[in-house]
Amino acid sequence: MPTNKHRVAINLDEQEFSELGAIAEQNDVSFAWIGRRAILEFLARYKDRQLHLPLRMESTGKERL
């Protein structure tokens, strides 16, 4: 069955992947569900704000929102 959805790939370090997996398991949801939810929340939060991309990186290497 054809779909009009698009696929996105991201890279996570071991700790990020582990933490995400724990959240998914605790809530009985998939990694994809969490990813879609995070992206939708980001879009809603910054919908009407002018972002200066790429997002600046903190000294820890994590993105600052």
∠ Cα 61 53 64 (to 5°): 35
Structure tokens that stand for 6 in this block: 């698009």
Mean pLDDT, the chain, whole residue set: 83
User: pLDDT value at position 65?
Assistant: 47
Phi, psi (5° rounding) for residue 57?
A: -100, 135
- Convert the pLDDT of each residue in 32-54 to its tens digit: 999 999 999 988 888 877 766 66
